[in-house]
Amino acid sequence: WAKSPTDIRPEQLKAAADMFSNAIKNAGLSFGNNHDQFVRSFVSSLIAKRFVILTGLSGSGKTQIAQKFGQWFGTQHYDVIPVRPDWTGPEPLIGFEDALVQRKDGIPVWNVPRVLEFCVQCRQDPLRPHLILLDEMNLAHVEQYFADFLSGMESGEPVLPDVGWDPSNKQWLLLSRDRLSIPENLFVVGTVNVDETTYMFSPKVLDRAQTIEFRVLSQDLPKNAVGFPKPSLVSPGPDEHLKALLDAARDDNWQQKHVDSSFGEQLARDLSGFHEILKDVGFEFGFRVLYESGRFAAIFKAMAPDSTYDQILDLVVMQKLLPRLHGSRRRIEALLCQIASICHGGFPGSKDFDPLGANVDISAAKLRFSFEKLRRMIHRLRADHFASFAE
């Protein structure tokens, strides 16, 4: 790669996240009373894992926050790719050899879609972050069109064709039969809406992403519907902040150098406790989830140093554990109740706990966001006899 990442201090990450949070607020995009924490969670998720899935209520700002982050990188450094229902293979992302065009020199002509062209651009400017937004990602089967790309991001193995532009003939050419890796400066955000026209994500996809749910509270709605502005463009961020985010994202061991071991040990104990409960129903997780949870927690702690341990654990449970849960009432109701009990009062939890009970004080929950999500899942489970994280 062009240059090894420098070691980024926690205060540098905090400064970058704060500036982006203020920038989108000034542009007219606000996420209510928890705006700063929500934005820090989004930025931390992308730095911890360069693939983030945004799900939740339609019109709640999923596409907007991804667009604004791309604009903050620079308008020429992001692209929005609408996913089509007819994407049934990797060709919409990595292209294919154009067999209908024959060159006299025998060099293959390659049909290059926008995603692959954007990856070429990333490689030509390796020291600046780039962002692709896959809009309505689950309009097609994600496993069919995104498998090669997802594998390349996860393993670091080469999956992209080696292509180059021929300006004289205005063609994309396959320069060699070698494959190239996904650029390290590429961030991918996918938005998800769930209805009768979309497909569910498989656990293996959710396992390889940070999943953030968007909701709109009644108190967060603007007081003047007529005077409510449409968000405007965000100016590109300072180079030092963009470099800090990119170098932290490229440094796979950043969390080991900037967070004390006691924090990591406490997080590991709590995740092990959840693992013991999840394994009884077949939802246990592996080393990847533990690593990515610790990495996200460390980066979020750097961006929000005033946050408590329970607030950080709440986000970890919400983004890495709960998206795995789905199934029938017979299979998962007792599990959801026990996890809700832990989120409300701590370990060990009880399967007999009813989070929808009239005497349950929601405001007293230790892990507030996770507990409220579990309440909604249990409510749907009892109404429809099936529930999943995506609503």
Q: What is the pLDDT of residue 106?
A: 85
Give me the helix-helix angle, 287-303 and 35-48, nearest 10°. Answer: 130
Mean pLDDT value of segment 86-111: 90
Reply yes or no on whether the pLDDT at 104 is more than 60: yes
The percent of residues in the chain predicted with pLDDT above 70, rounded, is 99
Q: Please give the model's pTM, rounded to 2 decimal places.
A: 0.92
Q: Across the chain, what does the average pLDDT equal?
A: 91
pLDDT score, position 31: 86
Query: Is it the case that residue 216 has pLDDT exceeding 80?
Result: no
pLDDT top residue among 16 and 197: 16
Task: Give me the pLDDT at residue 222, please.
Answer: 76
Can you tell me the mean pLDDT for 91-113? 90
Q: Which residues make Cβ contacts (< 8 Å) with residue 208, sequence separation at least 6? A: 49, 51, 150, 153, 154, 288
Q: In angstroms, rounded to a whole number, what is the distance separating the alpha carbons of residues 298 and 258?
A: 8
- What's the average model confidence in pLDDT over 307-323? 95
Backbone dihedral region of 106: left (phi > 0), alpha (psi from -120 to 50 degrees) or beta? left
Q: In this predicted model, what pLDDT tens digit does every residue of 43-55 receive, in sequence order?
A: 999 999 999 999 8
Query: What pLDDT shows up at residue 2?
Result: 60
pLDDT by residue (tens digit) across 262-285? 999 999 999 999 999 999 888 999
Beta strands at 130-135 and 78-82: parallel, antiparallel or unpaired = parallel
Average pLDDT (298-302) is 96
Share of the chain above pLDDT 90, in %: 74
pLDDT digits (tens, 9 = 90+) for 2-49: 678 889 999 999 999 999 999 999 998 888 888 999 999 999 999 999
- Asked if pLDDT for residue 1 goes beyond 60, the answer is no
Once rounded to an integer, what is the mean pLDDT over residues 172-177? 93
Q: What's the average model confidence in pLDDT over 297-315?
A: 96
pLDDT for 221 beyond 80:
no
**Torsion angle of C-alpha atoms 126, 89, 387, 380, degrees rounded to 10:** 90
Question: Does the pLDDT at position 295 exceed 90?
Answer: yes
Specify the pLDDT at position 197: 72
Q: Please report the pLDDT score of residue 30 as a whole number.
A: 87
The DSSP 8-state label assigned to residue 47 in this structure reads: H
Average pLDDT over residues 65-82: 94
pLDDT at 60: 77
Residue 206 has pLDDT above 90, yes or no: no
Helix (H) or strand (E) holding 363: none
Cα 159 to Cα 174: distance, rounded to the nearest angstrom = 14
